Amino acid sequence: MSTSAPQPTITPYPDGPLLLRGDVVLQTADGEVIPRHRRTVALCRCGLSAIKPFCDGTHKAAGFRTEG
Ligand code: FES
């Protein structure tokens, strides 16, 4: 029986953020660790969030659309 943690995953949410699940360290471009308080977080991919790299829901008001 394996005791290793499940692999982290990134799942694109239609017309919205990337959902990151699992143990992954988020860092700034300078290598500073970005604190996360939940095991699952939503990462902005519309570019409009005021709390990047996290999604703040602005994509909805902006009408952000994805193809998949
Ligand atoms: S994807 Fe939600 S604010 Fe950018």
Q: What is the pLDDT of residues 16-32, one digit of tens each?
A: 999 999 999 999 999 99
34 in Cβ contact with 53 (< 8 Å): yes
Is the pLDDT at 2 greater than 80? The verdict is no
| Local confidence band at 68 (pLDDT 50, 70, 90 cut-offs) | low
Sheet holding 18-21, edge to edge: 9-12, 18-21, 40-43
Question: Where exactly are the structural domains of the chain?
Answer: 9-68
* pLDDT score of 6: 84
Q: Is 26 exposed, middle or buried (0-12, 13-18, 19+ CB in 10 A)?
A: middle
Q: How far is the CA of 63 from the centre of ligand 1 (A)?
A: 10
The mean per-residue pLDDT over the stretch 58-62 comes to 97
User: pTM of this prediction?
Assistant: 0.86
Q: Which CATH architecture has domain 9-68?
A: 3-Layer(aba) Sandwich (3.40)
11, 43, 52, 59: which to mutate for ligand 1, most atoms within 8 A of CB? Answer: 59
Is the pLDDT at 66 greater than 60? The verdict is yes
